[in-house]
Structure 1
Amino acid sequence: MFAATLDGLRSTSGISNFNFPWTISGVSKQAQDVCNNLEDWTNELICSSVTRVSENTDFNDQLVDELFTLFVHCRKSNWDGFDARPVSESTVAKSLELIIALNSEEAAACELTAEPDGDIAFDWSSESGEIFSISVNENGTLNYAGHFSDKNKVYGVTDLGEMDKSYLECLIKNAISKD
């Protein structure tokens, strides 16, 4: 499934063909080679990440697809038209680590968004108003916050490598189980 997904991503996003304008005067052969190497490296990174995720997840095919689509659309500065920072490969890699760690049907029920600071947010919500959000940055820092009722609110910061997985899973369930 992931191979087909990656092929679809490449065909719809142009990720395997950055289409650099080689015909523009002033672009040297060395610059072309750098861009070609960058393209090869990016493709290798995406392929290795997709392979690693596909071997370690059961519920998250669609979530991984959304993550890569988000990356394609937000990998350049000013992607939102308001001077947003680009989503980096490191942020995508840390987000993939979070997806692997929270490998559950509940965790896959989130909405992914790019944030103006270049972080990626994972948001869970219910129709009755509960919400929980985890923001991942390129260093693997997780900022999280939840609002489950007027008297039940949480927030915190943790490192991806030191996170309490069961605590975060409980908060995710609190946000989506009220429907």
Structure 2
Amino acid sequence: MKNTFAISHSAQHTQATSPAVREHYARLAAGSRSFQPASHIAASQRGLSFGNLVSVNVYQNNMSELAYLLRMLKTISQTHRWITLIAPPSSFCLSLFTQAGISPQQIRIARATATHNPEALMKKALQSDTSAAVIAFGDIENFADANEDEGNATPCFVINGLPSRLH
């Protein structure tokens, strides 16, 4: 029997990130093969602009943004390109992705080293153009400079606040 997880749809969404995640999910669900930057109205209201980066905020009582991301990644993974995870927490487990229907053989994990910090790893993943999506973990501000190439169409997400119970 396939494991599933319940998501509360009554949870409050942040004004800045939920629309961006939903907009990108809607484009993919409609069959769009290209990833266009979302409207940066919400980010500009906060004084932040991060190109193609989409922040996915996960809270203990609000998992809807993560659910949208996982459904989007399942669709993206059908291109048979890598889903690249940048600097996931050390206790992170791939079961969250496999339960969403993403093959573990399509997931590539890049861990930070003394010579490559997470931002450098994201830049390298984007420059190699072998990833269907790049997902980093941490604060979006840490990855703001990693996605400077406006011509890059690879979807980039930064997961912030992943609860330890999901690792």
Is TM (by shorter chain) over 0.5? Answer: no
TM range, smaller chain: under 0.3
TM-score between the two structures when normalised by the length of structure 1? 0.25
By percentage of residues, which structure has more helix? 1
Higher relative contact order (CA 8 A, sep 6+): 2
TM-score between the two structures when normalised by the length of structure 2? 0.26
